[in-house]
Structure 1
């Protein structure tokens, strides 16, 4: 069984301020280690649940966060960015049985994680009228290849967001955001729960985990800067909505991914 893992950092245990997520910042090393540990716990759980091969995407910022010296055999890791529209799930295709997202976070526009955003700090994104999370964008991308997402770890609000789409997906809340603070579980609890829940998620019928792609997509990219919105509205098929929004409509989800690749 082939399993795909995409890992971010803003939803791992403890991260609260941006300096804890930035490669060159002095606060970063502790949380780089925790991110790596949480990924390794997911890998252990996946293998215990029957995985035979894993592809791991380091999907935060530079794409060079996970410490690779302890990666097990039968795990390959994508570091850096391929620059293709699949973005945080680059390399995922129909050969995979299921996907796992580690350290994900609430969508841009949410007050439930001080690090909440969607792809960019310069804009928020809506799909079909709802603020879109990176979970949703990447789950829809996986659905293009009929690959379901089995497990997601991240903040409490994200787990509630996921349940609205499919409450069969296994989730674990590492933290809860309150204003500019986070209330976190023990890092050891996260590691134990991640390993256990990932293992269980490997055993559930994958059809129960599927999220169906909508038939039509209306995408709104809401920029902080109205000038950037006006400029980006010249993307083919896009329109400008005063005062700071680009709108785009399509029936093809890959075109949504292409749009996000160029405009966020």
Structure 2
């Protein structure tokens, strides 16, 4: 069994401020270590369930966050950004048995995490077929393109609820719950224990039904905070102005949505 982990940081237990997620700030080192420890816990759970190999995509900011010397010897890690439209899921393929998500956070505009956003702080909302989408939305559908089930997510309470609504049977661990600029969090040790156990249980059951349905067609709408960003994105082939500060793009294949997100939003 091969398992894929997409690792972010803003849903790591204990995190509450952007300085803790920014490699240029003094707080970053502590939370980089906590992010790594949650990923290791997920790896241990996967190994206990029978995984022969775990591939991890370091998926936050520079994609150079994980302390690689702390990763188990059965792991391969994808660092940096290739430019491929799979983005936070780059390295995934149809030969994987499951996708796991750690450190995930609520979508832009949600109140479950003071660090909630979608892809970048320049986006007010991202909608897919009329529904407000998160990074998990995009990434679970990317996994579905490869026929890979999404089986476990650790992150704030909001993204856990969104994941459960989107993927029947997905296991989650709510590491924290936002309260304005603050958050109420599990202790890091308790979060790691729950992640390890949750991953093992999630991979030990029937995964049928945990691949989200690919729609027959998609409409992507990106609402930007700044009209200049919307003006620039509207020049992407097939994109069109969709009201103030918003751009729309229609596609049949979800990969075309991913490619539009790659070039319109980042």
Please tell me whether the aligned partners of residues 109 and 131 of structure 1 are also in contact (alpha carbons under 8 angstroms): no
Confirm whether residue 165 of structure 1 aligns to residue 166 of structure 2.
Answer: yes
Please tell me whether the aligned partners of residues 220 and 248 of structure 2 are also in contact (alpha carbons under 8 angstroms): yes
Report the equivalent of 2:223: 222
What is the Cα deviation at residue 167 of structure 1?
Answer: 3.6
Report the equivalent of 1:27: 27
Partners of 1:160 and 1:167 in 2: CA distance = 11
Q: Moved runs in structure 1, 4+ residues, more than 2 A?
A: none
What is the Cα deviation at residue 215 of structure 1?
Answer: 1.5
What is the Cα deviation at residue 214 of structure 1?
Answer: 1.5
What is the Cα deviation at residue 234 of structure 1?
Answer: 1.7
Report the equivalent of 1:139: 140
CA deviations over 1:186-220 (Å, ceiling 9, x no partner): 11110110000000011121213221112121111
Partners of 2:3 and 2:31 in 1: CA distance = 24
Report the equivalent of 1:100: 100
- Which aligned pairs between 1:55-74 and structure 2 lie closer than 5 A? 55-74=55-74
Please tell me whether the aligned partners of residues 221 and 247 of structure 2 are also in contact (alpha carbons under 8 angstroms): yes
Report the equivalent of 1:180: 181
What is the Cα deviation at residue 256 of structure 1?
Answer: 0.5
Report the equivalent of 1:118: 118
Report the equivalent of 1:45: 45
Q: How many residues were matched structurally?
A: 264
Report the equivalent of 1:190: 191
CA deviations over 1:68-106 (Å, ceiling 9, x no partner): 112111210011111100000001010101010000010
What is the Cα deviation at residue 54 of structure 1?
Answer: 0.9
SS at the partner of 2:70? coil
Report the equivalent of 1:212: 213
Please tell me whether the aligned partners of residues 126 and 220 of structure 1 are also in contact (alpha carbons under 8 angstroms): yes
Partners of 1:143 and 1:239 in 2: CA distance = 27
Partners of 2:227 and 2:72 in 1: CA distance = 47
Partners of 1:115 and 1:216 in 2: CA distance = 31
What is the Cα deviation at residue 122 of structure 1?
Answer: 0.2
Confirm whether residue 242 of structure 1 aligns to residue 243 of structure 2.
Answer: yes
